[in-house]
Amino acid sequence: MKIAFVGKGGSGKTTLSALFIRHLAAAGRPVLAVDADINQHLGPALGLTDAQAAALPSLGAHLPVIKEYLRGDNPLIRSAEEMIKTTPPGPGSRLLRIVEENPVYAACARPVALDEGSVRLMATGAFTEEDLGVACYHSKVGAVELLLNHLVDGPDEYLVTDMTAGSDSFASGLFTRFDLTLLVAEPTRKGVSVYRQYKEYAQDFDVHLRVVGNKVQGPDDLDFLRREVGEDLYACFGQSGWVRRLERGDEPPLRELEPPNREVLARLQTAADTAHGLRDPHRYSAQAARFHLRNAESWGNAKVGTDLAGQVDPDYVLGAERAGTAGV
């Protein structure tokens, strides 16, 4: 399952991503956690010290290693330099699995021990002022897009990404690479307006979008979200004393999280599992190709100096090469 948490800054993306990751790890599920937000806070939210979080390798800085590995001996991609963020896998490409050792994880991922279980964490790296609004910004999230396009995940394995909902995320195809996108919304006008914008943008791409209310304090908050979001509202996480304790520097164990909020985490897992069952690998790969062609035309061909449309194998379907699932 590939899951993204998106939403307005401050809505609680990092908090809910981290809690969901902890919930999955406590249930014994393999998890690859990815911090792709402009504000890199997922590491500390998973219990890393600031120094440990600062020492995380950045995906953005390891793009050459990532590209060289993923390219494998795919004859359609002649060199790592010809690989852009949207270059799709094809025959000969190396794919990533959630549970394995590979040079990409060795370079970019770090294990994080939790109070129950442990996960692997990758981070795009901090966004600097000059990254924003220019092509480089996208090379950081671009690394995540490449990884997702090459990641084959099984039904009980999870990739969880903490991401921004800013319009920048729509400049690439990244927002279409998830089985489930959870938009975190506070019960405020601003919270739901971000949802509307996201929905409007995502609807042409079959993005499976669900809203998770956060910091919901009572029936008025709930009514507001129900009214504004309608059937896309999937669950509501309450204002949490447990989260407050965390913020005060305590390290409360997951099992002490308020039972209704734990229940929300369990429901999110159900939503993710359901979404995985609905995944259409053909559509997934076709969309990857479509974004690649679009990026190739708008900037990639000019940058690389060759026609990158030739990198697409129209018959290639990610996941179809796994034993027993060919043609799924």
Q: How far is the CB of 17 from ligand ADP (least distance, A)?
A: 8
Residues across the chain: 328
Residues that bind ligand ADP (CB under 6 A): 7, 9-15, 41, 214-215, 237, 239-240, 243-244, 247
Please tell me whether residue 86 binds Mg ion under the rule CB under 5 A. no
The entry of ligand ADP, Mg ion, none near residue 237 (CB within 5 to 8 angstroms by kind) is ligand ADP
Report the b/e string of 292-304 with b at 16+ CB within 10 A.
Answer: bbebbeeebeeeb
- The residue (of 59 and 182) whose beta carbon lies closer to ligand ADP is 182
DSSP string, 93-111: ---EESSS--HHHHHH-EE
The entry of ligand ADP, Mg ion, none near residue 177 (CB within 5 to 8 angstroms by kind) is none
The entry of Mg ion, ligand ADP, none near residue 154 (CB within 5 to 8 angstroms by kind) is none
- The residue (of 139 and 214) whose beta carbon lies closer to ligand ADP is 214
Q: How many Å apart are CA 250 and CA 84, to the nearest integer?
A: 43
Q: How far is the CB of 40 from ligand ADP (least distance, A)?
A: 10
Site for Mg ion, residues 33 to 52, rule: CB under 5 A: 37, 39, 41
Sheet strands (E) in 174-258: 180-185, 209-216, 233-238
- The residue (of 203 and 217) whose beta carbon lies closer to ligand ADP is 217
Q: How many Å apart are CA 100 and CA 88, to the nearest integer?
A: 21
Q: How far is the CB of 63 from ligand ADP (least distance, A)?
A: 25
Q: Which two tokens stand for residue 326?
A: 């060919």
Q: How far is the CB of 33 from ligand ADP (least distance, A)?
A: 14
- The residue (of 63 and 123) whose beta carbon lies closer to Mg ion is 123
The entry of Mg ion, ligand ADP, none near residue 295 (CB within 5 to 8 angstroms by kind) is none
Which helix (H) or strand (E) segment holds residue 261: the answer is helix 259-278
Please tell me whether residue 279 binds Mg ion under the rule CB under 5 A. no
Q: How far is the CB of 239 from Mg ion (least distance, A)?
A: 18
159 within 8 A of 1, measured Cβ to Cβ: yes
Q: How many Å apart are CA 209 and CA 78, to the nearest integer?
A: 37
Q: Which two tokens stand for residue 58?
A: 């950045």
Q: How many Å apart are CA 149 and CA 231, to the nearest integer?
A: 30
Please count the other Cβ atoms lying within 10 Å of the Cβ belonging to residue 70.
25
Q: How far is the CB of 187 from ligand ADP (least distance, A)?
A: 11
- The residue (of 214 and 295) whose beta carbon lies closer to ligand ADP is 214
Q: How far is the CB of 18 from ligand ADP (least distance, A)?
A: 8
> Measured at CB, which residue is nearest to Mg ion?
14
Closest-CA residue to 5 (of 246, 156, 209): 209
Please count the other Cβ atoms lying within 10 Å of the Cβ belonging to residue 54.
12
Please tell me whether residue 14 binds Mg ion under the rule CB under 5 A. yes
324: left (phi over 0), alpha (psi -120 to 50) or beta: left
- The residue (of 163 and 289) whose beta carbon lies closer to ligand ADP is 163
Which spans of this chain sit near Mg ion (rule: CB under 5 A)?
13-14, 37, 39, 41
